Amino acid sequence: MKMKQWSGYAKYLVLADRNKSRLRSDYVGYLEFGKVIDALQTISRTQSKTYLYEGEVVKKPITPSKAADALVKIEKCQYDQNVEVVAISLGIDVLNISKNFSTGNR
């Protein structure tokens, strides 16, 4: 099956697994990731320094061109660091923190 035919969730799981991505690889992470995608789309379409997120005016953490580039990469299941930047700035929980810490088993 070609990537164009994959579901959004399937693409997300591949993205979360590839390229040392720090994304959570569960369904809740996928749902939260949708919020980041919405924010990236909004950021990429407007040239102002702020945008509206859930009824609040928020300062853009990245430029519209960086947001557009991130969206292109995501569509190809390639990770982009700007996903983290946007997620953190909005307090969206898409990161798999456990990948950054030892489990204590040595």
pLDDT of residue 105: 44
Mind listing the pLDDT tens digit for each residue in 67-94? 999 999 999 999 999 999 999 999 998 8
Q: At what angle do helices 82-90 and 64-75 cross, to 10 degrees?
A: 110
Domain residue spans in the chain?
Answer: 3-96
Matching residue, tokens 């909004």: 42
Q: What is the pTM of this model?
A: 0.84
The neighbouring-strand residues paired with 57 are 52
The C-alpha angle 39, 42, 47, rounded to 5 degrees, equals: 130
- Cα–Cα distance between 97 and 101 in angstroms, integer? 7
